[in-house]
Chain A
Amino acid sequence: MITKKAVLFLFICFVWSYTSAQTKPVSFSVSGTAGITYEGYGLNRSPSGWTGYSARKPWNQVRFNFTPRFSFGKNFSLPFNFNFSAIPTNFAGPYAGIKNQNFGQFITNPVNSFGLNPKYKWAELQLGTQYLKYSDLSTGDIGIFGIGFDLRPKTWRFKFFTGISQEAVNYFAGPPTVTGAYKRKNWMFQLGKEEEGKYLFAVNFAKGKDVPTSAAPPPLTIRPQEGVVISIVANAYTDYGIYFKAEAAQSTFTKDVTTPLTSLLRGLKPFIEPHTSTITDFAGQVAAGRKSNNFDIGINVKYIGAGFQTVGYPYMQPDRVDYTLNTRFNAWKKKINVTASVGRRVNNVNNTALKASQFIGNLNWFTQFNEHWSLNVNYNNFGFLAASGMNPYGIKNVSNDFGVNPSFSWTGKKIIHLLSLSYNYSKYDERDVMTGLTTSNNTHTALLTYVPTYLEKDITPDFSALFFYNDVPGVKLSLFTLSSALSMQAAKKKLKLRGQLQYTLGKLNSFKNNNNLVASCNIDFKITKKLTWNTFLTTNYFKYGNEITPNGASYLESISRTGFQYKFDTKK
């Protein structure tokens, strides 16, 4: 309540100061867009009654966007960020499976955003849905519907936001099953000093708390939780391109607030009381390096403790140390560009699991030999090794990818021709933990592309042929694809057309071939300078051989999307 009053007071203050400061008419401008888009999806399966292929889009969907930015003079701006959909389509996260939403659920559903950020000089009021990233270890991935501010007087930073990241969703046995969720309230705060391009020092605080009584019936598998994270960020940059970034964080997280309180574990009073399911752990990351026009080098180390958990990053995987060395350089008068990284990830830092280690190595080397010839070579390696535990052998998976891509271009009188060949070999070895035998999975991909660019015509076609072959014991899959695309402009460049046709012949083991045809087009029509009509149509026909039952099954799916976009622009 006090927070709301404070924010209201602040808002009144800067509206008053803005209006009272005006002695002459202020300039007014609007930028941004507004629009509506309809998307329809169709799926016909044959024979009727066959359900072997599922719909992958909502049958109908209407999306609205309203993102204008009103500017009054130099100092005051009022940006809107309204994006919402008519039909909920949640498959993951707290709203998964929800069909009928109440108003609160609609407002806080991640598919919808209703944000308003009035800003006067260095003071910004944040209203509605906000995706705020304070730092890498505190909060950043979650949208919260609420109220807060971001104040930046001189080099100071004061940020605060509070609201609801998810409404309660009642458990429903189904079908389809709705897992359900507890209502979650969030608070976040940052205090710091920053001079852009020079330094940043900030202390972050983020808290989330579920309301245990909010869902009825409550979720069966999810427990009401509560978590607090405090982090310190320190970044420094020099004029010579040298940078240093560091963050250290501590989380205290209660996995189930219905478990008994205890004095045997650490809490973080007054922010969080310790329960028997409360854990406290640490995380940290350091990055240092140098950037310049022709040479970059950097090292990153990231540690996430096994018990580190934050409501701001719900999918963060704990219990690991990652360290990588990255570099990029140009040579031979910038005709050679190389990017490379090498690193390792180790899981099980706290010994609560089996030891697992992953090696990561990437290299991309591009050379422009002359105006005709260029060559790109890349190599990626991922190796994963885990202790055997109770099995005779540990897990060992090694993935190696090697690619080479020469390109040749030449210029005729009216056409620039480009011929590009790409070949990639991928080998994936996997060890069976019981027998110790390694299975090799080999993939070859070859792609030939020809792109003529007409110098005097507004037409750009391309043609390509691709061969894909995957071989693993018991399964041999080959795909052969021919495709062509065309883009052009018409009606005095008011109409932009892009079309594509793709045919794929597939073969699995000794089964009969399957066939796939994908046709699509994109039409952008500029009705006026500010109003555009965008349409996208695609259809996909797939006919199986005899690799599934019923033999010769097929499906035809289509996606049609059309919408109008209005561009706000008051600049003359």
Chain B
Amino acid sequence: MKKIVYSIIAAFTCIAGYAQVNSNLILMAQPPAQLSEWGNRREVLTLIISSPGIIIDQFKIKAEIKTVDGTVIANTDLAKAPSFSSNPSGTTLLFANDVIPLEFMMFTGKYKTALQRTGKLPADNYTLCVQPVRPVDYIALGEVHCRSFYLANTQLPILMKPYNEEILDQKTAQTAITFRWTPVIPRQTSPVTYRLQVFEVLPLQNPVQALRSNQPLLDKEIFAATQYIWQPQLSFMADSSETKKMPTFIWTIQSLDKDKKPITQTDGNGEARSEPLIFYVNPWKNRKPAN
């Protein structure tokens, strides 16, 4: 009797050990360029492991990132990578931090250098291939699943006009000021909303301080266009004859996605605000400053 029981247990163990698990890899077509950001956003990568009726005791995920020509530029250090056990319900969900743990991924050549310097890979098309394997001998437990993705770092707009430290004529500026900037690159899947903000720099403030503390005189959302004509409807007289300071302004563009969220939240200031520029309005053109 005992022999029969042992035989049944051994058979189950054998089936479990070599059981073919089903898996499905879901990967965004254009994930964030910053690889460390993949782990913070569950929608970027999901690997579904299913083994109906069988509990897989331990398994690891072997991951490879390849270029279009099939060259492997990164793979998992399986000796150090964490092991997982399947969910008793039969379906296990793994995310980017589990599938491509950056601390255990080995990148090669220029890709390693790019990752060290920028946290990103060079802009290009890549393929991610994953496969569940046994932890000890790395024998495959399922099929290899591959998905292509495109990586390109998002470049925020560069402000063009008024250019930095441009001095505008008071009379013209009181009627209209034209703002221009470059579009977000690469072109997004949905049109970008550009939030144009103009802040007055008060006496005793420095420009970035004004940007971070004042209510903007202009706060306008512009849909998919890179020019805006502002009619300020303000008087740009010098504030006080004591200061003898030209009215000073700082302006910037915040790039928003279709949900009105900052288009990049992991780069730079995290607000998707472009590097601001300063402009002045000269109230004394054609006349001497007040004494």
Contact = CB atoms under 8 A, between A and B. Distances in A.
A306 B106 contact: no
Interface string A221-256: 111000000000000000000000000000000011
Given A110-B213, A259-B36, A317 B103 contact: no
Given A354-B185, A391-B187, A477-B229, A276 B102 contact: yes
B147 interface: no
A560 interface: no
A315 B268 contact: yes
A534 B152 CA distance: 54
A455 B22 CA distance: 94
Interface size class of B (residues with CB under 8 A): 35 or more
B26 interface: no
A384 B182 contact: yes
Contacts of A54: 219
Say whether chain B's binding surface is mostly helix, strand, loop, or mixed. loop
B36 A315 contact: no
Contacts of B269: 93, 314-315
Contact of A496 (B234, B241, B254): B241
B239 interface: yes
B190 to A, nearest CB: 14
A38 to B, nearest CB: 14
Contacts of A110: 209, 212-213
A349 to B, nearest CB: 10
A384 B158 contact: yes
A389 interface: yes
Nearest to A263: B103
A391 B183 CA distance: 14
Contact of B102 (A262, A483, A538): A262
B13 interface: no
Nearest to A481: B175
B135 interface: no
A75 interface: no
Interface in B112-137: 114-123
B16 interface: no
Interface size class of A (residues with CB under 8 A): 35 or more
Interface in A463-519: 464, 466, 468, 470, 472, 477, 479, 481, 483, 485, 487, 496, 498, 500, 502, 504, 506, 516, 518
B118 A350 contact: yes
Given A259-B39, A317-B158, A352 B102 contact: no
Contacts of B248: none
B226 interface: yes
B233 to A, nearest CB: 5
Interface stretch (B44-52, B61-69, B258-266): B258-266
A296 interface: no
Contacts of A348: 123, 153, 155
Contact of A347 (B155, B183, B231, B273): B155
Contacts of B172: 422, 424, 445, 447, 466, 468
B235 interface: yes
B109 interface: no
Interface stretch (A22-30, A192-200, A425-433): A425-433
B176 to A, nearest CB: 5
A350 to B, nearest CB: 5
B34 interface: yes
Interface of B: 33-34, 36-37, 39-40, 101-103, 105-106, 114-123, 150, 152-156, 158, 160-161, 163, 169, 171-172, 174-176, 178, 180, 182-183, 185-187, 197, 199, 202, 204-206, 208-209, 211-219, 226-227, 229, 231, 233-235, 237-242, 252, 254, 261-262, 265-271, 273-276, 286-287, 290
Listed from nearest, the 9 A-B pairs whose CB atoms lie closest are: A93-B212, A277-B36, A111-B213, A520-B235, A276-B102, A353-B153, A307-B118, A262-B103, A352-B153
